[in-house]
Amino acid sequence: MREDQATGLKRTAIKGNTEIVLCSGGKGGVGKSVLSANLALALAQFEKRVLLFDADVGFANDELLLGVSVPRTLKDYLKGKVDLEDVIVPTRYGIWLLSGGMDVEDILAFSFESKHRLVSDFLRVVSKMDYVVVDTPAGFSEHLRGFFDAADHIFVVTTPEATSLMNTYTYLKYLVLNGFEPEYYLVVNMVRNIEEGKKTAERLKQVLQRFVGLELSGVYILRYDNVVKSSVITQKPFVSEKVSGQPYFAIMRAAASIVKAEYKERISFFERVKRLFGVG
């Protein structure tokens, strides 16, 4: 499968409706990377071509979660050592992985010419995908603005703890007030009691609607489950194992909501990719 994927990446006809899905959160340690990896695999189960872009490069969590060794990163490409296709790694799960290999600030610090080459090559490669799932660093900074400008869907991950929920409210309020207009989804992770998790999510949803004017496109509850913990240890995402359990079905419902969502063209895909890497 790996060889077929690699050759397919170079010969597939360019498509115009690639959608960008951000997995984000106001703080670290909430399970953002677990969501990113499993959501990418869930989209692939709908027979979609998916690239997982690990932009949370200080940790390389997605490599570990997928059990993938990444010999080259975006840093090698920007230094002119390899082509972009050489940096994108096919996985046994039917998705591709792109590891940043540097901080977002480092990417933006490269020369204007290097970033323009990146935009051109990224458009060529990514336009062959149906979805690009981006695992972003926690929080928001101006260095990340391009990622949020480019997004069609943003999943914000939180936990039931009061501090995490308050952080999430503040985070989403900031994104909305700064004019980011993707489809927003809330994921409440590590929930011990599903009913309590639903009540917590509903309260936050109502507060966001009343005080921020944000209508969430979806709310998903992920129960604290040994299946998830085991998948991290074994480096086999639980969606790939198709383990019949609450976290699996929640992720599959989230993927289904994206696949069924009507594509909304706001600005051209070319312009969104330019913003992604801070060009123009």
The answer to which of 50-64, 152-166, 209-223 has the lowest mean pLDDT is 50-64
Phi first, then psi: what are they for 153, rounded to 5°?
Answer: -135, 135
pLDDT at position 8 is: 46
Task: Identify the CATH class of 17-275.
Answer: alpha beta
Q: What is the percent of the chain with per-residue pLDDT over 70, rounded to a whole number?
A: 82
pLDDT at position 156 is: 98
pLDDT at position 15 is: 45
For residues 97-123, average pLDDT: 69
125-180 pLDDT tens trace: 888 899 999 998 888 877 778 889 889 999 999 999 999 999 999 999 999 999 99
**Which DSSP string do the residues of 54-109 spell out, in sequence order?**
E--TTT-HHHHHHT---S--HHHHHTTSS-HHHHSEE-TTS-EEEE--S-HHHHHH
pLDDT at residue 45 is higher than 70: yes
- When comparing pLDDT for 229 and 40, which is higher? 40
Contact at 8 Å (CB) between 32 and 171? no
Domain boundaries, the chain: 17-275
pLDDT at position 11 is: 39
pLDDT at position 126 is: 86
Residue with structure tokens 């490409």?
77
Give the number of other Cβ atoms within 10 Å of residue 130's Cβ. 18
pLDDT at residue 41 is higher than 60: yes
For residues 54-63, average pLDDT: 74
156-168 pLDDT tens trace: 999 999 999 999 9
Q: How confident is the model at residue 21 (pLDDT cuts 50, 70, 90)?
A: very high
pLDDT at position 77 is: 85
Q: How confident is the model at residue 280 (pLDDT cuts 50, 70, 90)?
A: low
Phi first, then psi: what are they for 99, rounded to 5°?
Answer: -105, 135
Question: Which of the listed ranges 64-73, 90-99, 118-127 does the model predict with the highest average pLDDT?
Answer: 90-99
pTM: 0.85
Indicate the SS3 state at residue 262.
coil
- Mean pLDDT score of the chain, rounded to an integer? 85
pLDDT at position 1 is: 40
> What is the signed CA dihedral for 195, 200, 205, 210, rounded to 10 degrees?
130
The answer to which of 5-9, 66-70, 181-185 has the lowest mean pLDDT is 5-9
